[in-house]
Homo-oligomer: A and B are copies of this chain.
Amino acid sequence: MKGKLYLIPTTLGDTGISEVIPRKVIDIINDLDYFIVENIRTARRYNRKVSETKNINDITFFELNKHTKPEDVASFLQPCFSGKSIGIISEAGNPGIADPGALAVNLAHKKNIDVVPLVGPSSILMALISSGMNGQNFAFNGYLPVKDNERIKKIQYLERKSKSENQSQIFMETPFRNTKMLNAVLQSCKNTTLLCIAADISLPTEFIKTKTIAEWKKQKPELNKRPAIFIIQA
């Protein structure tokens, strides 16, 4: 029997494990000896947080990030062929969304290794359902361009698209650029367009509000260094 590739969720910040991770997922993490991870230090810390009894030294970590050579990824899946299952962990939330994990998943399908998704917090999905916006038709656009004029063009393109396709448009930014991003959105969009700001999802400081651009202009939240998801609908 081949081992499986488990997609392991992590917390979105400093919350208790049992707040956002189901019991079964904790048990699976405890049973695994092999992990493909974005960052070994974070993954080790997460394993320690999930289980106080597990011996971290018995775990083999393979690092998969932007520095990893694609041809090395195949070797990470080797344990599956001797019946050992592997967990894949990203820095926050679900692997495969805004990280290089999809590479390993892709390869698992080619090698006929079962891929098993596990339940955990997804900031994108949690923001969307909390926004009250169209959940039947939505798009996630990842990170927008960093350059001012390109960013504004992209925001306006997404605003038009949300209207013409009746599709909620989700995007994000690295936390230290959130204030810039918010200003760009307020500056670029029509006053009647709806904007949902979802920051610190699942954390004690969680902030989730949907308002029109005109309303947001009157009172801007402080988003600096808080992980946030933005959703617009025109």
Segment with Cβ contacts to B, from A43-51, A62-70, A202-210: A202-210
Chain B neighbourhood of A105, CB < 8 A: 129-132
Report Cα–Cα, A133/B108, bound state, in Å.
Answer: 12
Report Cα–Cα, A138/B211, bound state, in Å.
Answer: 24
Residues 108-149 of chain A, each 1 if its beta carbon lies under 8 Å from chain B, else 0: 110000111101111011111111111111111111000000
**Cβ-defined partner of A140 (8 Å) among B106, B137, B208:** B137
Report Cα–Cα, A97/B143, bound state, in Å.
Answer: 22
Say yes or no: A136-B18 contact (C-beta < 8 A), given A119-B202, A126-B119, A130-B115: no
Segment with Cβ contacts to B, from A20-28, A53-61, A175-183: A20-28
A94 contacts B by Cβ under 8 Å: yes
Is A102's CB under 8 angstroms from B137's CB?
Answer: no
Report the minimum CB–CB distance from A12 to chain B (whole Å): 10
Report the minimum CB–CB distance from A127 to chain B (whole Å): 8
Report the minimum CB–CB distance from A230 to chain B (whole Å): 15
Chain B neighbourhood of A97, CB < 8 A: 125, 128-129, 135-136
Report Cα–Cα, A119/B126, bound state, in Å.
Answer: 8
A19 contacts B by Cβ under 8 Å: yes
Chain B neighbourhood of A135, CB < 8 A: 96-99, 101-102
Is B117's CB under 8 angstroms from A201's CB?
Answer: yes
Is B23's CB under 8 angstroms from A209's CB?
Answer: no
Q: From A19, A108, A127, A134, name the one whose CB has the most chain B CB atoms within 10 angstroms.
A: A19
A85 contacts B by Cβ under 8 Å: no
Q: From A115, A131, A135, A201, name the one whose CB has the most chain B CB atoms within 10 angstroms.
A: A135
A199 contacts B by Cβ under 8 Å: no
Report Cα–Cα, A106/B142, bound state, in Å.
Answer: 24
A7 contacts B by Cβ under 8 Å: yes
A87 contacts B by Cβ under 8 Å: no
Say yes or no: A16-B20 contact (C-beta < 8 A), given A117-B130, A136-B98: no
Chain B neighbourhood of A134, CB < 8 A: 102
| 5 A-B pairs with C-beta separation under 8 A | A16-B24, A96-B129, A96-B130, A97-B129, A102-B129
